[in-house]
Chains A and B, each alone.
Chain A
Amino acid sequence: MPRWGMAIDLGRCIGCRSCAVVCKIHNSLPPGTWWQRVETIGAKVHHTPVGRYPDFSEVYLPVPCQHCDNAPCVKVCPVGATWQREDGLVLIDFERCIGCRYCMTACPYGVRQFNWQNSDKNFKEAFKKLGFSQNWFADSSYRPGYPYEHRTKDGRLVFTPKRPRGVVEKCTFCVQYVDQGLPPACVRGCPGNARIFGDLNDPNSLISQVIKRRDVIRMREDLNTSPKVYYLLPEYKSYRGKIIYEKILKAFERMAVNL
């Protein structure tokens, strides 16, 4: 039995949010709902450098569900609608969830999203708000993304393009693709190839090798949630192309104003 995990190389992530968009389309996310987020660490606005002159940094942090091994969301779910499958994926049964949102309170990573309204209505209203003419979404049978329902072997509904109202959803590591032997959409769609998806149980898989050899961290390790998403730390970039930062910094230092 594999144990699926993901590693994200922060040195390679260019903050383009392709993963977030690819995810949104493939998983037919209703407007306003995001299973992936990419933000610049420390910045109020994405893609703005953080720090004081001349010590700027700009590191992007993509965040899917961490598929925690010790997942608080699994523990709190009163009806077992959120559970961890044997292969390590933390999934939500769309047909069992009662929408109590206890899991949203429990998850430290803020990845859980609720279906506050009817998804069809949400699509229509959102398209209108975004400036498209009202009838743009009149054909309500059309949904972007993976067109079929997906059930686990024991018959639990873990993906459907037609979202029921009043239930919680979140990143599934694209269970509908993983079950067909494909990596998640965000992994395939990352232009910087910053993401590695694979079997943590297999010591020879790329992900296991990378985790072993490079410096990795997990988010909020202090809470002991044991995430299965690993982050490879960005390396210090002393040059990019022909620009050698060290030299420029030295030059600036002489006329440094203390900020």
Chain B
Amino acid sequence: MPGKFSKVYKILGLIMLIGLIAFIYQLYKGLIVTHMRNSFSWGLYIATWAFFVGTAAGGLVVSSSIYLFKVEALKPVARLATITAFVFAIAAMTILLPDVGRPDRLYNIFIHPNFKSLLPWDFLVLSSYSLVSIIYAYILMKPEIYKFGVSIPLLGLKGKRNITDEEYKKLKEESFRKAKKLAPLALPLAILIHTVTAWVLATQAARPWWYGGLLAPTFIATAISTGPAIVILFSLWVLGVNERLLPAYRVLAKISALSSIILLFMYYNEFFVRFWWHHGEDYEALKLLFTKYLHLHVIEVFFILLSAYLFFRYSDVPKKLVQGGIALIIGVFAHRFLLLPSAYNIIPFRVPVIERYGSEEWSYPIAHGEVIGDLLKPGKVFVDYWNYYPSIIEILITAGVMAAVVFVILKLSEILPVEEKA
């Protein structure tokens, strides 16, 4: 029987297939098919990784705040929230696959981990987070699974046991107790995945755009604004609207909007400090954002503000919530992408040139790594600026992973009892 989403699945499946083909092509050709080069060595995949980590947060923040902060209104969306958390955390690790040059050697992370580096830690917290979210999801849904079973495609109905209403009620109480116990573990993990991900970048003194203590707090703010928005979007899509859900959406929208404002505050606070000094690498990085990347910056600020406005003003209107959620995704994605240019195009190796009439900093050019041009039109070998934009292959692979994320979330929410049943 054709399900509610059968058409959506077809479209998503197609995007996934194209993404897979693009990935195979990239495996075959090498990362030369991306538009990253030596001086701009991380691109769309890493931006998407940061984005996914951010969206993964919401899930557990939502579900654990029910039990830790007693926000009972959020209960109806808790299950879906944990599922999104799980899927996005897995997706964050998946998007790193096309980024590494030798995915065949990834096992080295397990047999030779270097714990001074934050990447193994990031793997560790992301995988623990996905594990905890799936356990969490199971705990929440266990009563319904026992009572009604889940119908898995091809395998049929599974997990159903014959239990009396009495036992069912007991299971529900037990589920609540266990969820309450797990919440204090889940929340710190949710905070950790952003912090550690931010630290991967923020520890690099060579990249003044990231270096410093402010990146982790902005990552958390981004997460607390996108996480709930993602939950709203999926919940509206899967569960729709009813009296029990509306209050949940209202709370989520307010949390998201507030966090967006905090994010922008921290962002501009940093800008002001850099701007005031008006010189040096920190300022140069900022200047790049406001000159060459002004268009993207306008997009990020406009859409984040728009979503905050819609979420604050119309937290009861489903249509506006959808618009707000989509606006936020656009804005935050631009925000994530903008992590890169100001980090890589401010070349860290700079030499001061001091003259009688003043001084300037000169960036030492980097060999970008590809022979371009020909005898008549020779290309540059060493560059001090690399105009990065994602190549078509990068876009297709990223789109494929995104489609897979949506696909899996929809499928899981169809199979699993995401709605609480009496």
B30 touches which one: A42, A107, A130, A165 (CB < 8 A)? A165
Q: Known: A51-B355, A79-B114, A125-B371. Is A112-B38 also a contact (CB below 8 A)?
A: yes
Whether the pair B114, A77 counts as a contact (CB closer than 8 A) is yes
User: How many Å lie between the Cα of A247 and that of B331 in the bound state?
Assistant: 63
Whether the pair A72, B206 counts as a contact (CB closer than 8 A) is yes
A101 close to B (CB within 8 Å): yes
Whether the pair A52, B349 counts as a contact (CB closer than 8 A) is no
User: How many Å lie between the Cα of A80 and that of B13 in the bound state?
Assistant: 38
B382 surroundings in chain A (CB, below 8 A): 34, 37, 39
Q: Known: A130-B371, A166-B30. Is A110-B114 also a contact (CB below 8 A)?
A: no
Q: Known: A41-B362, A63-B349, A107-B206. Is A98-B101 also a contact (CB below 8 A)?
A: yes
- Map CB proximity to A onto B372-386 as digits: 1 under 8 Å, 0 otherwise: 111100000110000
Whether the pair A105, B41 counts as a contact (CB closer than 8 A) is yes
Whether the pair A96, B105 counts as a contact (CB closer than 8 A) is yes
Shortest Cβ distance from A219 into chain B, in angstroms?
7
User: How many Å lie between the Cα of A51 and that of B354 in the bound state?
Assistant: 9
Whether the pair B102, A131 counts as a contact (CB closer than 8 A) is no
- Map CB proximity to B onto A108-152 as digits: 1 under 8 Å, 0 otherwise: 111011111110001001100111000000000000000000000
B368 surroundings in chain A (CB, below 8 A): 32
A61 surroundings in chain B (CB, below 8 A): 351, 364
A191 close to B (CB within 8 Å): no
A99 touches which one: B100, B116, B204, B348 (CB < 8 A)? B100
- Map CB proximity to B onto A62-82 as digits: 1 under 8 Å, 0 otherwise: 010000000010011111110
B250 surroundings in chain A (CB, below 8 A): none
B206 touches which one: A96, A117, A118, A223 (CB < 8 A)? A223
- Map CB proximity to B onto A41-62 as digits: 1 under 8 Å, 0 otherwise: 1100000001110010100010
Q: Known: A108-B348, A131-B375, A165-B101. Is A98-B367 also a contact (CB below 8 A)?
A: no
Beta-carbon contacts under 8 Å, B318-356 to A:
343-344, 347-351, 353, 355-356
Query: How many residues of chain B are within 8 Å of chain A by beta carbon?
Result: 59
A102 close to B (CB within 8 Å): yes
- Map CB proximity to A onto B358-374 as digits: 1 under 8 Å, 0 otherwise: 00101011111111111
User: How many Å lie between the Cα of A47 and that of B71 in the bound state?
Assistant: 68
User: How many Å lie between the Cα of A122 and that of B96 in the bound state?
Assistant: 25
- Map CB proximity to A onto B107-144 as digits: 1 under 8 Å, 0 otherwise: 01100111011111000000000000000000000000
B348 surroundings in chain A (CB, below 8 A): 108-110, 220, 223
Q: Known: A61-B351, A117-B30, A166-B101. Is A79-B375 also a contact (CB below 8 A)?
A: no
Query: How many residues of chain A are within 8 Å of chain B by beta carbon?
Result: 58
User: How many Å lie between the Cα of A114 and that of B102 in the bound state?
Assistant: 12
A31 close to B (CB within 8 Å): yes
B69 close to A (CB within 8 Å): no
A110 touches which one: B99, B103, B366 (CB < 8 A)? B366
B100 touches which one: A77, A80, A100, A106 (CB < 8 A)? A100
Residue of A31, A32, A81, A96 contacting most chain B CB atoms (<10 Å): A32
Whether the pair B351, A166 counts as a contact (CB closer than 8 A) is no
User: How many Å lie between the Cα of A61 and that of B350 in the bound state?
Assistant: 12
B38 surroundings in chain A (CB, below 8 A): 104, 110, 112-114
Whether the pair A110, B347 counts as a contact (CB closer than 8 A) is yes
B357 surroundings in chain A (CB, below 8 A): 52
A18 close to B (CB within 8 Å): no
User: How many Å lie between the Cα of A57 and that of B105 in the bound state?
Assistant: 49
Whether the pair B353, A113 counts as a contact (CB closer than 8 A) is no
User: How many Å lie between the Cα of A126 and that of B374 in the bound state?
Assistant: 9
Whether the pair A106, B206 counts as a contact (CB closer than 8 A) is yes
B395 close to A (CB within 8 Å): no
A105 touches which one: B102, B106, B204 (CB < 8 A)? B204
B360 surroundings in chain A (CB, below 8 A): 42
Q: Which single residue of chain A is at the shortest CB-CB distance from B348?
A: A108
Jot down 18 A-B pairs with beta carbons below 8 A, ordered by A: A32-B367, A32-B368, A37-B367, A39-B365, A41-B351, A42-B351, A78-B119, A81-B108, A96-B105, A97-B105, A98-B106, A99-B105, A101-B100, A108-B206, A110-B366, A114-B41, A118-B30, A122-B371
Query: CB within 8 Å of B: which residues of A?
Result: 31-34, 37, 39, 41-42, 50-52, 55, 57, 61, 63, 72, 75-81, 96-102, 104-110, 112-118, 122, 125-126, 129-131, 164-168, 219-220, 223
CB-CB nearest 9 A-B residue pairs: A99-B101, A166-B101, A78-B119, A108-B206, A117-B32, A42-B353, A110-B366, A126-B371, A117-B30
